Structure 1
Amino acid sequence: EEQSGYPTPRLVESWREQGHGFGLHPWVEEGVAYGYNRAWNDFVKHGYGPAAPTVRTHRVLWSGWVDTAKVQAQYGIHMSLDYYHAGPAMRRPDGSYVNGYLTGSGLPLPFVDEQGRLLRVYQQHTHIVDEHQIAAFDHGYEMNLSAADAVALSRQQIDQAVERFPSALGLQSHFDPYAFSPEKAAL
């Protein structure tokens, strides 16, 4: 079998047997509907079976208040992790960054359309974002924490979620900059 760079259906099934989910991760640079259609077709083409009902869009680009959620619903997505803790909006005037619950809660919230109707898609805030905490991606809005400080901050947020604010915590964690870049592995 030729190596495509994609995991085999057998490997995906073994991950599922270990309790992992496997779903879409659409690129939407050419539009949300197009990106989701392409991701869905690729998922089916590779024989990965049913997609998880949870999604994280690759790059979250503004497309309207609920336009993305409406497209997600068409593909059986019920949980969107697209609302995440990163970027210049998280920076205070003094240069420090906010952390914690941007919605006032760690609980999933339903999307509501322009007419006030609840959609069958919920958003879960992603609280712990590696590309925001450490300088692995060079976006220009990293906190530039050391690996040890990023772990300490993440532990603090997890402890608060358990002890003080019983809630779910979303996590975004990349392995690729470390796996493919020896100089970043030292972070």
Structure 2
Amino acid sequence: MIPLALDPKHLQLAIAGNGALALRRLLALRRAGAEAVLVFADAPEPELAAQAGEFLRPFLPDAAALAELHLLWITDLPEHIAAGLAQATRQARVLVNVEDVPSGCDFHSVAEVRRGDLLITVSTNGAAPGLARGVRRGLEACFGPEWDARVEEIAALRHGWRAEGLSMPEISRRIEALMAERCWLSCPKPQ
């Protein structure tokens, strides 16, 4: 797998599914900054339909709809329908993830810790999602809510140092020194 961080403002993301897993994926994508996620659902549960709002498409995507997408998550669909839709998605040259079917995935969603602009991810290449969740919980203890303010502080310092004309290696050195001085990477022991 190749780790990437994608800016959802530049991508058309979509979900195909009808139930709780589709809703969970929609809410996760929104937390990541994706606002216009299309939801293709031929029999959506009420909460999914309500959350999808104007982005609900009351059908599964056909070739024309797939051609407009960049990434598609497939969940909550019968196996034979998901497999056919995944094949059609690949034929449209769109990346696809069939939830809980590693062999059906061009990409895997990662376990994540978000603290403002800080994003820490964990992946097991789809082999052990439960392990990734457990590691994520450990990282949440190490990287608490205070990291949101730390990122903002370092961003402001970096901006000022760049305006002063400092080199990138010097800026990096200063950031590392500040982190060491403040012991920011001292994690509490797991319980």
- From the CA coordinates, give the structure whose radius of gyration is larger: 2
Same fold (TM over 0.5): no
Q: Which of structures 1 and 2 has the larger relative contact order (alpha carbons within 8 angstroms, sep 6+)?
A: 1
Please give the TM-score of this superposition, normalised by the length of structure 2.
0.28
**Higher helix content, 1 or 2:** 2
